[in-house]
Amino acid sequence: MPVIQAVLFDLGETLLHYEPVDTLACFEQGARLAYQRLEQEGHRLPSFGRYHRRQRRAIKLAYAWSKLTGREFNSMDLLGRMHRRMHLPVDAATLRDLTNLFYRPLSDHARQEPETSDVLAHLRSMGVALGLISNTFVPGSALDDHLRREGLLEFFPVRVYSCNVGFRKPNPRIFRLALERIGAEADRSLFVGDRLDVDVKGANRVGMISVLKAAALPDGRIRPRYHIRRLAELPALIARDL
């Protein structure tokens, strides 16, 4: 019977729930916030329509490339290249502030299950290390700020964002990197996520104990070791079955 050393989580639709949401509308709202910030600072700008179209096109192309190759991009880098061509600020502080504004409308839609903090505190009290692995082109700084606002950042000293490491789940490297950083063995670590093709598949590949968090267990060739409906089921699962 293995003693569980660590539990690593997916972020979107596992720890934080964004759906249902109009993602394109949120990104347009975020682009407008960033544009207004630049206007307030007195920068010479193209029309908002042109500014937003360039940003949206760059994201769309980069996202298609990432899905095809399994490699990841960072939207802050895309914004910096776009700004350079437009002769707009490219210093790190400005780009960080602007990408935070781009992400803010989407983050405002996020919600967590009421018991999330209690579950994480309970797991930590059991001596289990906690971490995150997330596929995201949103800069890690923006996600960290969001987790801080949600009161969750303190639980996750290890956070592996695909935009920072360059590859995406289910690539085994991102799971192995997180395990190395958290100092745990794969067969004594859980990975909790909401997708079979990304979360469960990747965790199974490296020998982790995969846990699918979903309303129902879907049929398919990829199978999780365990299935839960809510995070509140995790402590009992670990104590009873592991």
Within 8 A by CB and 6+ apart from 156, the residues are 9, 130, 131, 132, 147
Residue with token string 């937003």: 52
Mean per-residue pLDDT over the chain, rounded: 96
Cα distance between residue 124 and residue 130, in whole Å: 7
Mean pLDDT confidence for 33-42:
98
Share of the chain above pLDDT 90, in %: 94
pLDDT band at 1 (very low <50, low <70, confident <90, very high): very low
Q: Work out the pLDDT band at 2, boundaries 50, 70, 90.
A: low
Predicted TM-score of the model (pTM): 0.94
Residue 99 in tokens: 């990408």
Q: Is 6-17+111-241 assigned to CATH 3.30.420.40?
A: no
Neighbours of 118 (CB within 10 A): 13
In the chain, the N- to C-terminal Cα span, in Å, equals 6
Lowest mean pLDDT among 66-70, 112-116, 168-172, 187-191: 66-70
Measure the CA–CA gap between 215 and 15, rounded to whole angstroms: 14
Is-contact 121 154, C-beta < 8 A?
no
Count of CB atoms situated within 10 Å of the CB of 86: 17
Q: Cis ω on the peptide bond leading into residue 20 (within 30° of 0)?
A: yes
pLDDT level of residue 22 (50, 70, 90 thresholds) = very high
What are the structural domain ranges in the chain? 6-17+111-241, 23-107
Pairing of strands 209-213, 189-193: parallel
Place of tokens 């890690």: 140
Q: Which secondary structure element, helix H or strand E, spans residue 91, and what is its range?
A: none
210-229 residue pLDDT tens: 999 999 998 889 999 999 99
In the predicted model, what is the mean pLDDT of residues 189-198?
97
C-alpha torsion sign, points 91, 79, 149, 183 = negative
Give the per-residue pLDDT at 220: 85
What lies within 8 Å, CB to CB, of 149 at 6+ separation is 107
